[in-house]
Amino acid sequence: MLASGCAPRQPFYFFEDGDLSHYTGVVQKLEYPDLDQQPLDEAAGTLEPFTLSNANIEEIWELSLEDAIRIALENGKVLRNLGGRFGSFGGPRPQTGEPPVSLLTAPEATPTIYDPAIIETDPFRGVESALASFDAQLSSSLTWDRQSRPQNVGGIGTAIFQQQLEGDTGNWQSGIRKTTATGATFNFSQLITYDNNNSPIRQRDAAGNVIVPSTWSTNYDFTFNQPLLQGGGLNYNRIAGPDAFNNLFGRPNFRGVLLARVNADISLAEFEVGVRNMVSDIEQSYWELYYSYRALEARKAGRDSALEAWRRVHALYVEQSRGGEADKEAQAREQYFFFRSEVETALADVYRSEDRLRYIMGITASDGRLIRPADEPTTARIAFDWQQALVEALSRSPELRRQKWRVKQRELELIAAKNLVLPRLDLLGTYRFLGMGQDLLNQNYNPYEAGGGDPLFGTDAYSTLFSGKFQEWQVGAQFLMPIGFRRELSTVRNYQLQVARERARLQDEELEASHALVEAVRNVDTNFSLTQTNFNRRVAASRQVEAVQAAYDAGTVTFDQLLDAQRRLAEAEVAYARSLVDYNRSIAQLHYRKGSLLEYNGVFLAEGPWPAKAYFDAHRRARQRDASIYLDYGHSQPGVFSRGPITQKFESIGADARPQQLEPLDPATQELPPPVEQIPAPVGEEPTLADPQAVSAASQLLLPQ
C-alpha cells in the first residue's frame, strides 16, 4: 500500500449500467438566444461593396443635403453617430479609415426616439408613477373560520365557558384609502362580522335555552392622518411624494411629481442633443463626400496632365530626339504613376465617405447606386452678429438647458430635505358607527335596544347602524423627534453641496460654450480667408503650368520644372476644395454651437400623435372643466419651476448675416472652379507594360467619357 501511494477513487455502485448522460462537464456554454426576429432588410440585402477592383456602378444617386437629412430622420429610431464628436469642426478632416461601430461597442450610450417615453412611463421615477401615489386605493378581504376547541373548564366556570367551544366566524372588511397633496391620509372602511358559537353567556329565555346563538355586527370607520410639520404641505408632497417617510431614518426617497417632471424634461433635452448630433454628422459626412469628389477630380486632372507629358516625352525617347532623354522619360513615368496612385487613393476615399453617409442615413451600405452630392457649397462670406450669437449659445444650447434642469432638480430636493429637519407632528382622528343584530339585514326596521329581556331577538345589524345610537370617535396627536437631528442636518448639507456642485458645473459649461463659440467664429473667418487664398493659389498655379509649358516648349526651362508645376496645380486644386468644404463645415458648426443647427436645417421637434381615444377623453375632460364652477385654490398653487416650452424657431437665423461674394486677392481673377459634374468611371484591367500608348488606352477607363 505504501508503494502504490494515495490516489482518489470513485465509489462502487450496484446496478450501474454505464449511462452517464446526467454528467455535466462544464458550467457555462456559449449559447444563442431563442429570438424570433428577422434581420433588417437593409443589412441582410447589402450588395458587394464598391472597391478599386469592383466598381460596377449601376446608377448615380444625385442627393441633396435636405434629402439626406430627411432620410436619416425617417430612419432614425436609433440616433446614430460617427463614433464621437470631431475635435475641431471646420478644422482637421474627420477620419474615414475606420467604420463607425459606436452602436456595437456601447449600445446603451446611443440615444433613441423611445428614451423620452421610457422615462415618462418609468414605473418608479415616471410622472404617472408619481401621480399614482395620490390615487385612491380600494381594498377588500373576506375570511371564514371554523372553531372546535377543547377548553380546560370545570366547576363554576362552566356557567360562563364551554368545555368544548364550537362556532363559526366570518369577517368581510373593505375600504378606500386616499392620500391628498397636503400629505393627509383619509380612509373610509367597513367591517362586517358574523359570530356563531355555543358560549353559555349568549342571551337565553326563561327556560335557559339560547334564543340567539349567532350575531351580526358591522361598523363604518372614517379616519384621517394629517402631518402638521414634517411631511405636511403641498410643496413638500409634490416634490418628495407621500411615501418618502418610509426612509425617515435612512436615505430620503424623493420621487414626487415635480421631480418626475424634471426627469422627463432632462430626457427631452438629451433627445434633442442626440437629434442635433445626428444632423451635424449628416452634414459633416455630406460635405466630406463632396470634398472626396473634388479631390478625386483634381488628382485625375493631374494624372491626365502627367500622362500627356509622358506620352510626349516617350515619343521623343523612341525617336532618340532632343528632349527624350532617358532621365526625362523616367521622370514623366514616375509623375504619372504618382498621380495614378493618388487617384486610386482618392477613389477609395470616395467609397469610404459614401459609406459613412449611408450609415448615418440609415440605409444599406451598398445597393448598386453611388451617392453624389447635388448641392454646391457656398462661397459667400457669412457674417454673424457676435452678441446675438452669444445670447443664442447661452440660451438655446440643449446641454445648458439640461444642466439647468439638473440645478432645478437639486434645488427641489433641497427644499424637501429641509422639511426633514422639522419634528414629526401628526393630527389623528377616527369616527365610527356601529351596529349589531340577530340578522345582517331584514325587511323590518328593528334596531338593537340595550336593556332587559331579549333585546337582540329579531334585530338586524344595519337597522342598529342607521339608528345612530352607537357611535365612537377618537382625536389625538402623535409626536416624534430625534434628539439632535444629526442625519437630517447632514442630509440638508449634502443637498446644499449638490446644488453648489450643479451650479458650478452650469457656470463652467456656460464658459465652455462661450469658448466653443469663439472657436467656431474663428474657424468661419479663418476658413473663408483660406478659401480666398487657396482660390488665388489655384489660379496662379494654373497660370504657372501654362507659362512653364510654353517655356518648356521654347526650351528655356527644364522638364522637371514642368512636372513640378503640374504637381503644384493638383495640390492647389485639392487645397482649395479642402478649404471650401471646411468653410461650409465651420458654418454648420457655428450653428451647432449657438443652438440653431436644427432650425438651420429645417428640423423641429414635436410629440407624435396620440390614439384617437386619448383626444376624445381629453376633449371630454376639457368640457367638464368648462361646465364646472371655478374655485380659487390660490394657496394650493405650486411654485414656478418651469418657464414653459422653448422657442425652436427664431425670426432670423444669425441676425445681421450679410452674404458677401467671395473676392480673390487678384481682381482680375474672378473665375471659380467648375462644379463637380463627372463621376469616377469603373476601373478595368490595365496592362503591366510601361508603354505610354497602352497606359493611355487603359487610363480611359478611369476618365469620364
Is there a single domain that holds both residue 331 and residue 191?
no
Q: Is 368 within the bounds of a domain?
A: yes
Q: Are 310 and 382 found together in one domain?
A: yes
26 within some domain: no
> Would you list the DSSP string of 458-496?
T-BHHHHHHHT--EEEEEEEEEE--SS-HHHHHHHHHHH
Whether 400 contacts 392, CB under 8 Å: no
Is 153 contained in some domain? yes
Report how far residue 198's alpha carbon sits from residue 423's, in angstroms, rounded to the nearest whole number: 51
Kindly report the CATH number assigned to the domain that includes residue 76: 1.20.1600
Judgement on whether residues 260 and 175 belong to the same structural domain of the protein: no
Type of residue numbered 195: D
Q: C-alpha distances in angstroms, 428 versus 53, 185, 233, 470, 626?
A: 86, 10, 16, 21, 37
Q: What is the pLDDT of residues 602-614, one digit of tens each?
A: 898 888 888 888 8
472 pairs with which residues across the strands?
A: 432
- Judgement on whether residues 195 and 106 belong to the same structural domain of the protein: no
Examine the domain organization and report whether 272 and 353 are in the same domain: yes
Do 292 and 151 fall within a single domain?
no
Query: Do residues 203 and 288 share a domain?
Result: no
> Which residues of the chain fall below pLDDT 50?
85-93, 206, 248, 652-705
Domains in the chain, number: 2
Residue 172 in any domain: the answer is: yes
Residues 303 and 161 in one domain: no
Q: Does the residue 390 lie in any domain? A: yes
CB 602 within 8 A of CB 65: no
- Given 464, 480, 496, the domain boundary residue is 480
pTM: 0.80
Same domain, 434 and 289: no
State which H helix or E strand residue 221 sits in: strand 214-227
Q: Is residue 9 part of a domain?
A: no
Could you tell me if 332 and 285 lie in one domain?
A: yes
Query: What is the pLDDT at residue 455?
Result: 75
Residue 525 lies in a domain: no
Q: Do residues 467 and 506 both lie within one domain? A: no
Domain assignment present for 582: no
Q: Are strands 471-480 and 164-179 parallel, antiparallel or unpaired?
A: unpaired
Find the domain containing 463 and state its range: 136-179+184-230+426-480
- Predicted confidence at residue 687, as pLDDT, reads 34
User: 151 and 267: one domain?
Assistant: no
